[in-house]
Chains A and B, each alone.
Chain A
């Protein structure tokens, strides 16, 4: 999980990235303007505070009189109220912009994720996407809101203070300003270093997390290999590396403040010496001197803030770059505008224009190769009649899953075409085909929620009775009713509270509920126990009746009754025919089948023995 969070950073400021990002921030323009204005206000108030003290010294203490004091108190109260009001507004608005921008980016990202093709998911790790959608989105939101606040406030206060100083006393002002460039230089240098160091620390930290993960998962093996000491020594090297990097980073941070302080006190000393002389000579008022003393302090905070922001801006830019890559990726499979106009898209389907699917599937000279250039199919032809049951068998990597994925239009042929009910499926909407699919995967995937909700996924408006019916059709009803709360049982994250056999039964019921015309079983029984397999096997017959089905099977015993079995090898159909015909042929299928039969029978004997 940590692996994807901190990747390379670009070095320079890229205007184009921020320009693109602006599209997602545009909605908060008004709040941002108010924020900037508000921060200028806060800066103004901050600059005014020392003046209040100056006024009290000059007007009351020096003159030894208190007339007009009530008005002064009122002014001070007004100042406090304005300050509190501004603080409220800026925290509120910055919060609003921050969470709003994050929400907006996530919304766009998720929408894009729904559009992207399988080829994208094949080459992109889920962890990578998660990191873009969570920590990167958050960082962008943070920087846009709080970054703007800090920049606006810092710039404004520097301007106010400088202007004020020059109005009060140009000579003293020049003295103080002389210290500023040195200060800015030092601060920016340090912030950059500190930031780079923190990145190292984070990277080391995620390696330590990885080491723990390995230490805990591998603990059993470690014991049998008696390699505890070696492991521990390696781990200690990691933690001490992290310790050193952390200390280095902390030392840099603790150096920065004293340096800033030293520089600011040079300014202070200059002010005191020069200003003090002025006071004695009567050229400078005591009040003015106190303002300058206060300003030397106030000047340096904003410069530090700016340095920090610019260091952080770099990482925010990298976050923005990565997130934008995600949002701006074009899906490989896209419906043409004409198709979208007629049939709608995933988010706005125009069901009234959809043709009914009968289930004839034709591969016409279909070729397919992955983007990497790896060729899987070449000149592949296949005609499947409506309602026909086709089994695909063969070694891993032979192209079975590719054929199925092409049927589902998870991929499109790179050459040739695929016709569904006589029409090239590229002339129809993806959602049209995919809404009419029944699909059961090798690793059943359930969503958190109840069993009921999971089955209903295939048909959101299904009545309870329909759901029960689907469950009965696949012989899942009984086991579901035996669960703690029957159909209302929570399945847990990823269906984790059910066994994999139970998950498969639920996903099977789900696939049936939508009454699909085209049905795909992709290694649906290879990861379940024998008992569940038999349960599924018993229902497959009846359930698949009248549906065009593609069954990819590892266990050959499950496909004996298919209308046609295709033995796929290297993207080609090597043998084709019914189970009986292929057995008679004594070819490759026969070999496969005998080997498996042997293994399965042994397995059966072992599992039947008393346990």
Chain B
């Protein structure tokens, strides 16, 4: 029931079209069933001399037009009638195909859009833990399972039901005993088919698993080709692959044998059914219990509904798969997205930043920020130093509201919770440690945060990030596509493009999360100088481990284990024993170290 409700919900906007598709199918079935009737009437009443076995109105219409004799004289009319009905059937089939495809493609497109949109709106935490492969599977093949179900399987099911129901009623009106005989195979076939497709799904699963193993072996042996060669294990690999290859082949063969048995045994049922109707019908026709046209009609109808019933089992068993896919899709859609505090607004962010006893934990009982309190003046540059896991990045993420916090953070006197997240992130520029570049042109990547940026602005940002010359050096310059199908950038180049992308928008606060780590020291200094020139009164946070970077800041925060261990200027910190001074001292000890090593080593 839930499945039905969900499908119905997804069909919003396309319901009417889908309904028309099914109605067209009904028409198509009706027309296809009329053709044998025309043939029957032609054979029995026009060519033969049976009374016309048609609805009264139609008979009287035909009588007024000249009756059977007229038809016999103009036999082409019967042909024309058959032709006309067939054309109508064709139109119906066309409409059904077009409507069903349009509706189901609309629905599929809707689901895909919805998923994409929703995924983007899910909280940061969700994406930190997300399993990309599994999510993509859900967004693509699971959606396709649903689409196929709507586009083909439901329609086929409807068609089969219509054919059976309508042909049964026509047949019953012609001859009851022969009709009952004709339906014999329906329940048998349904049961056989359903049970078969249910049981074969296990074999399918086994083959699928083996195929997975096969491609793992292939994949591992290809990506590990150096190891294979270095140990001379070509023979071993060949045998390993050969084994999986044959195992997979044999499992497929098991499937083939099952299918062969199914198709041939159901063939016996189908042909048996048709034969039974033919023989019994012939006997009845000889005895005069049924007309020749009637028999031909029966023969055609039995042929029309016997074969599709074989497939019903497959459709029914596929319904299970559809339900699973639907569940997987809804699991994503039902994950609550990021939301603003009710009443959150857009206050200016150009003021002081105050942290008061801020706590944050990813996991219950394991706080990463343990009571951070500090104030940053507007326009101040703060450098942050700390060991891995000391909470540097988390501190910045909290400021962007990528994570929630306890305690109080105020910008310009307004509590962060009461500021719209979107607004906040638009106004705070951050360069992540491992920036993600989109596989589009470099220009497009830089414009990401500011769609309206003009070319000169883009170049200027790139110059600031010391990456303009690098980009110009590429064959296609700013139109170079980044990523799999394009140019691969080095870590440093990526970081610099990301910097350009961040500085192109006007930010009240700028954050560099260790984002110059892959750039050499000289370029690092050049970028910082350019940035300084560019930004006035922009509060800046720089997370770094380079002393030269740190010492230029107005103040340096030293984080240890989620706490602010020390704050001060370079001079202050060098004078005190601590993390900062220890790193500073390394520089001076260096020469001395070598001398001893050379002397004693």
Q: Given A3-B484, A213-B132: A57 and B436 within 8 A (CB)?
A: no
**Chain B residues whose C-beta falls within 8 Å of the C-beta of A3 in the assembled complex:** 484-485
Is A537 positioned at the interface, with any CB of B under 8 Å from its CB?
Answer: no
Interface residues of B in 221-257 (CB under 8 A from A): 221-238, 241-242, 245-246, 248-249, 252-253, 255-257
Is A22 positioned at the interface, with any CB of B under 8 Å from its CB?
Answer: no
In the bound assembly, the distance between CA atoms of A66 and B279 in angstroms comes to: 10
Interface residues of B (CB under 8 A from A): 39, 42-43, 46-47, 72, 75-76, 78-80, 82-83, 86-87, 89-91, 93-94, 96-98, 100-102, 105-106, 108-109, 112-113, 116-117, 119-122, 124, 127-128, 130, 132, 135-136, 139-140, 151, 215-216, 218-238, 241-242, 245-246, 248-249, 252-253, 255-257, 259-261, 263-265, 267-268, 271-272, 275, 278-279, 282-283, 285-286, 292, 295-296, 299, 386-390, 400, 402, 422, 425-426, 430, 432, 435-436, 438-439, 448-449, 451, 484-485, 501-502, 545, 547, 560-561, 579, 582-583, 586-587, 590, 593-594, 597-598, 601
Do A607 and B79 have beta carbons less than 8 Å apart? no
In the bound assembly, the distance between CA atoms of A583 and B435 in angstroms comes to: 38
In the bound assembly, the distance between CA atoms of A254 and B103 in angstroms comes to: 14
Do A66 and B283 have beta carbons less than 8 Å apart? yes
- A sample of 18 cross-chain residue pairs with beta-carbon separation below 8 angstroms, ordered by A number, consists of A52-B278, A84-B264, A98-B256, A110-B242, A121-B222, A212-B136, A218-B438, A220-B432, A225-B448, A243-B106, A250-B102, A266-B83, A269-B80, A273-B78, A286-B47, A346-B232, A448-B220, A579-B601
Do B265 and A84 have beta carbons less than 8 Å apart? yes
**Chain B residues whose C-beta falls within 8 Å of the C-beta of A276 in the assembled complex:** 42, 46-47, 75, 78-79
Is A435 positioned at the interface, with any CB of B under 8 Å from its CB?
Answer: yes
Do A434 and B271 have beta carbons less than 8 Å apart? no
In the bound assembly, the distance between CA atoms of A243 and B111 in angstroms comes to: 12
Q: Given A53-B278, A212-B116, A216-B132: A99 and B283 within 8 A (CB)?
A: no
Do B135 and A212 have beta carbons less than 8 Å apart? yes
Do A258 and B285 have beta carbons less than 8 Å apart? no
> Shortest Cβ distance from B577 into chain A, in angstroms?
12
Is A208 positioned at the interface, with any CB of B under 8 Å from its CB?
Answer: yes
Do B245 and A103 have beta carbons less than 8 Å apart? yes
Q: Which residue of the partner chain A has the closest CB to B95?
A: A254
Is A9 positioned at the interface, with any CB of B under 8 Å from its CB?
Answer: no
In the bound assembly, the distance between CA atoms of A454 and B577 in angstroms comes to: 48
Q: Which residue of the partner chain A has the closest CB to B295?
A: A61
**B-side binding surface: helix, strand, loop or mixed?**
helix
Out of B86, B97, B117, name the residue touching A268 (CB < 8 Å): B86
> Shortest Cβ distance from A475 into chain B, in angstroms?
21
In the bound assembly, the distance between CA atoms of A410 and B78 in angstroms comes to: 80
**Chain B residues whose C-beta falls within 8 Å of the C-beta of A239 in the assembled complex:** 109, 112-113, 116
Do B267 and A83 have beta carbons less than 8 Å apart? yes
In the bound assembly, the distance between CA atoms of A610 and B370 in angstroms comes to: 14
In the bound assembly, the distance between CA atoms of A18 and B286 in angstroms comes to: 57
> Shortest Cβ distance from A470 into chain B, in angstroms?
13
Out of B42, B249, B389, B448, name the residue touching A99 (CB < 8 Å): B249
**Chain A residues whose C-beta falls within 8 Å of the C-beta of B241 in the assembled complex:** 106-107, 110
> Shortest Cβ distance from B403 into chain A, in angstroms?
11
Q: Given A230-B451, A280-B47: A88 and B227 within 8 A (CB)?
A: no
Do A448 and B216 have beta carbons less than 8 Å apart? yes
**Chain B residues whose C-beta falls within 8 Å of the C-beta of A603 in the assembled complex:** 545
**A-side binding surface: helix, strand, loop or mixed?**
helix
Do B233 and A606 have beta carbons less than 8 Å apart? no
**Chain B residues whose C-beta falls within 8 Å of the C-beta of A113 in the assembled complex:** 221-222, 225
Contact with B along A499-526 (1 / 0, CB 8 A): 0000000010010001000001000000
Do A279 and B47 have beta carbons less than 8 Å apart? yes
Is A290 positioned at the interface, with any CB of B under 8 Å from its CB?
Answer: yes
> Shortest Cβ distance from B443 into chain A, in angstroms?
14
Do A83 and B560 have beta carbons less than 8 Å apart? no
> Shortest Cβ distance from A249 into chain B, in angstroms?
8
Interface residues of A in 367-411 (CB under 8 A from B): 408, 410
Is A460 positioned at the interface, with any CB of B under 8 Å from its CB?
Answer: yes
Do B387 and A251 have beta carbons less than 8 Å apart? no
> Shortest Cβ distance from A270 into chain B, in angstroms?
7
> Shortest Cβ distance from A396 into chain B, in angstroms?
9
In the bound assembly, the distance between CA atoms of A402 and B75 in angstroms comes to: 88
**Chain B residues whose C-beta falls within 8 Å of the C-beta of A79 in the assembled complex:** 271, 275
Do A246 and B101 have beta carbons less than 8 Å apart? yes
Instruction: Give the most central of A107, A272, A434: most B CB within 10 Å.
Output: A272
> Shortest Cβ distance from B451 into chain A, in angstroms?
6
Other 4 A-B pairs with CB < 8 A, given A96-B256, A240-B109, A276-B75? A57-B282, A61-B282, A61-B295, A213-B132
Instruction: Give the most central of B79, B119, B268, B583: most A CB within 10 Å.
Output: B79
